[in-house]
Structure 1
Amino acid sequence: MNSIKIAKENIARLNTAITFIEANLSEKLSLEVIAEKAYFSPFHFHRLFKIAVSETVHHFINRKRIEKSAAYLLHQNEINTTEIAEKVGFSSLSAFSKSFKKFYGMSPSKFKKESPEKYSKICKTDSKNGKVTITFEQYICNINNALNWLKMNAKTVVKEVPRLDLAAISHKGKMEAIGSIYNKLVKWATPKGLMNNQTRMVTIYHDSPKITNPDNLRMSACIVLNDPIEIDGEVNLRILSPTKCIVSRLEITPYEFQKAWESSFAFMVENGYKKSEIDPFEIYYNNAAEHSENKFIVDLCIPIL
């Protein structure tokens, strides 16, 4: 968020509004209702939101609805387009199709048909002339490579991850920039006695890089709270309810995270699991800077139905 002109307390309230929007995309979302959730007047909320998020409330809601529909098209083939339109809050199929085509440059049905080739990094290969070419053999080969990599590098189980109470700061923008947000969080947490050898950090991914423009990606940098604590400034309290997940425990370098996530999703698909609407997240068990090989000990968690 662009916080130059906005008090930290207001940033936290804006993040509360964003969380409310993302949890209620299927509902009719008025400016008045959202502003009330964040304890702002509609006028003041609209102005601050535009400054902080760099887009209007209306545009943000529409973008999140379209991106959520794209996730349905990618991961839940059994849901038809009409059902998806209803799930993401469009009043009619025609309105949904028009907005989707304006955003992605193609109809929802074409996106669904082409998505395995165009939107899956696992099975994408570039030919000499720059065009993406896919063969069934390449797809099977890449899936098998991903699964073999996961088997060699991770312990993967399906289990319920217990409730996590989190102190969180939101980040919007490129993934690699989240380090500065963690620096802020540590600076906030250290004088409160929250940083020690047992401290666990969590990154929540609210958007998929396959769907969302890198500049619009939203993540949350979090610290697991073992005891109740007063939250202040731009820090929010987030609660992850107990949820069934595919959990892959790895010890990896920063450069291996993309491969790890792709392989975990390959495991999900090949074993017949369906991703739920809960955002994927990582749980960190160490500080990589203190590791002899600069590796993270981390759980990659994919919530499933």
Structure 2
Amino acid sequence: MALRRYEPEMHSEYQARINKVIAYIDANLSGDLSLEQLARVACFSEYHFHRLFRSLIGENLNEFIQRRRLETAARALYLNPKDKVIDVALNAGYDNPTSFFRAFRQYFGSSPSAWRKKAAKEWAESQLSRKNSLRAQNSKIGNVLDPATWQILQGTSKAQTSSGRVEIRDLPECRVVYRRYVGRYGNPAITQMWGELFDWAHANGLLMKDSSFIGILHDDPSITAPEKCRYDACLIVDQNLEPDDALTGRFRGGRYVMYDFAGTPSDVDPAWDRVYGEFVINSGCLADNRPNIELYGPNSVIDPEKMIFRSKLCVSIRDF
């Protein structure tokens, strides 16, 4: 019997289908997340799907769904203190309040009401401690990009490097080519991944002076364990683009509080704190469950040697 050799592009196809399922789960936590439905989304048989999911994600399907429901509920509880606990539970996919209270206490070690009062802060501090223990010195992206790519990204803009402007905008849905990283936010591996995406886009004629990029932070690092945080580096592309050697997906769009940031990677965490502490709470809206994003327009790179860049830090919001 002839054996088929391993094809890396086939692994990418499997990963793309599982990523599609994960996006569906995050967008439908209160909907039908049965094995049958999710296998249909992935275009896999039910028999193989849950095994493939565990192999690629490192968690079984039910564990992943339970974790995402609880993490989403925990985030809503401390960001939107006026929301009723029962409504938070329902939005996260729990029809039975008793089941929600039991699962929440088992996972976070406190009741939902205690979480709002004190435990959320304690949990966030413990997660920050874990993140800092894993922190490594930031690498320089200049070491992983060729000069031609840098020239395109840096552009010719002479705009000032100031930051601080805030606005509320509705962003459209769009198609993206992306690469995914799973692990601690702030890891130099994210910088490396961006470099790989830039070089791929340049080699395929997709990196232009007016190219725009989106960094999608799928998880809240104050709640989700550092090693399970997901980050997508995305290039916005034409709706009809179907590359054979890259993952494609859709950015859902929606309404965001957008903060103009300019600085180095070490400045990003304090900037996110300011967005929440000063602007989200004064926006007249509630924080939504859609992921936070970093929006990079043309001329985002200011100084590659000093690692100074500009972006918009965006928090998803919704009406009260």
**Which category describes the TM-score, using the shorter chain as reference length?**
0.7 to 0.9
For the 8 Å contact 2:302–2:310, the answer to whether it is kept is no
**How far is the alpha carbon of 1:69 from its aligned partner?**
0.6
SS of the aligned residue for 1:301 comes to: strand
Q: 1:72 to 1:298 in 2, by over 3 A?
A: same
Q: Does 1:216 align with 2:220?
A: no
Question: Which digits, 9 at most, give the CA deviation of each residue in 1:177-196, with x for residues without a partner?
Answer: 32233244234323321123
SS of the aligned residue for 2:287 comes to: coil
Q: Does 1:168 align with 2:181?
A: no
Q: 1:94 to 1:6 in 2, by over 3 A?
A: farther
1:252 to 263, 278, 286: 263
For 1:25-64, list aligned pairs within 5 A: 25-64=29-68
**How far is the alpha carbon of 1:5 from its aligned partner?**
11
Q: 1:288 to 1:32 in 2, by over 3 A?
A: same
For the 8 Å contact 1:28–1:89, the answer to whether it is kept is no
Aligned to 1:68: 72
Aligned to 1:100: 104
For the 8 Å contact 2:72–2:289, the answer to whether it is kept is no
For 1:282-297, list aligned pairs within 5 A: 282-285=294-297, 286=299, 288=301, 290-291=303-304, 293-297=306-310
Aligned to 1:265: 276
Letter in 2 for 1:268: V
Q: Give me the whole-angstrom Cα distance separating, in 2, the residues matched to 1:215 and 1:234.
A: 24
Q: Give me the whole-angstrom Cα distance separating, in 1, the residues matched to 2:51 and 2:248.
A: 21
Q: 1:198 to 1:274 in 2, by over 3 A?
A: same
SS of the aligned residue for 2:94 comes to: coil
Query: How large is the RMSD of aligned CA atoms in angstroms?
Result: 2.5
Q: Give me the whole-angstrom Cα distance separating, in 2, the residues matched to 1:115 and 1:97.
A: 15
For the 8 Å contact 2:72–2:92, the answer to whether it is kept is yes
SS of the aligned residue for 1:220 comes to: strand
Aligned to 1:139: none
For the 8 Å contact 2:54–2:61, the answer to whether it is kept is yes
Aligned to 1:135: none
2:113 to 101, 109, 124: 109
Q: Give me the whole-angstrom Cα distance separating, in 1, the residues matched to 2:239 and 2:17.
A: 23
For the 8 Å contact 1:9–1:232, the answer to whether it is kept is no
**How far is the alpha carbon of 1:268 from its aligned partner?**
1.2
TM-score by length of 2: 0.78
Letter in 2 for 1:81: V
Q: Give me the whole-angstrom Cα distance separating, in 1, the residues matched to 2:107 and 2:231.
A: 22
Q: Give me the whole-angstrom Cα distance separating, in 2, the residues matched to 1:167 and 1:16.
A: 13
Letter in 2 for 1:31: L
Structure 1: which 5+ runs fail to align?
125-151
Question: Which digits, 9 at most, give the CA deviation of each residue in 1:72-106, with x for residues without a partner?
Answer: 10111222222222111123111111111111111
Letter in 1 for 2:268: F
**How far is the alpha carbon of 1:226 from its aligned partner?**
4.7
Question: Which digits, 9 at most, give the CA deviation of each residue in 1:94-129, with x for residues without a partner?
Answer: 1111111111111111111115643567xx9xxxxx
Runs of 4+ in structure 1 over 6 Å off: none
SS of the aligned residue for 1:170 comes to: strand
TM-score by length of 1: 0.81
**How far is the alpha carbon of 1:60 from its aligned partner?**
0.2
SS of the aligned residue for 1:74 comes to: helix
Structure 2: which 5+ runs fail to align?
1-7, 129-161
Question: Which digits, 9 at most, give the CA deviation of each residue in 1:210-268, with x for residues without a partner?
Answer: 11000111121101115631133451221333x22211112211110001111111121
Letter in 2 for 1:27: G
SS of the aligned residue for 1:198 comes to: coil
Residues matched between the structures, number? 273
Q: Give me the whole-angstrom Cα distance separating, in 2, the residues matched to 1:233 and 1:31.
A: 29
SS of the aligned residue for 1:260 comes to: helix
Q: 1:6 to 1:232 in 2, by over 3 A?
A: closer
2:244 to 221, 232, 241: 232
